Amino acid sequence: MAETQIKQLIKMMNDIPTSKDLKVYLPSIQIKKKSLKRISKGDIILLKTEDIAVDIVEDDNIIARGLYGNYNEIPSILIDKFTRDKKSSKRDKRYHVVKILLGTIEDSQLDIGKIVKLKNDREHHLSLFLRDRLVAKARLVHRDREIALQIDEVRYND
């Protein structure tokens, strides 16, 4: 009898849909190839924006957009709209396109107008990627009423 109950429990657990994590990115930035090679700890990169729009990505497809901010002192995303766009990474001879990962959220929490807690260890910390390779770690700061990245650690050695 206990064996039958275990089999039924396993079947029930397999039937429950599991949620997966979706990546949350700031809009990609273009950095001159020469400048990226010279990037160092403490450098500031202005994002030229006053609010922080984000893309919510699943398998290189943008599935939703939102706004990043603190809600009740917790880094969160306000889901703004659903979309089905391909995350683009345009190539240029003089520039690298750098992706900025803010963190992850659970896909089960997506709903327009909903505020979703960002899953990351430290508030306002980001990872910068070049073609899926980590090049730097940074944090969000304010400079001259604009949002900027301050580089905390550099891993770029191309």
The residues spanned by each domain of the chain are 20-154
The pLDDT tens digits of the residues spanning 84-112 come to 776 665 667 788 889 999 989 887 767 88
pTM of the model: 0.78
pLDDT of residue 52: 87
pLDDT of residue 65: 92
Note whether 68 and 54 are within 8 A (CB). yes
pLDDT of residue 138: 94
Please list, in sequence order, all residues whose beta carbon lies within 8 angstroms of the beta carbon of residue 77, skipping any fewer than 6 positions away: 24, 54, 56, 66, 67, 68, 105, 115, 116, 118
pLDDT of 136 over the 90 cut: yes
- Nearest partner of 108 among 5, 23, 8, 17, judged by Cα: 17
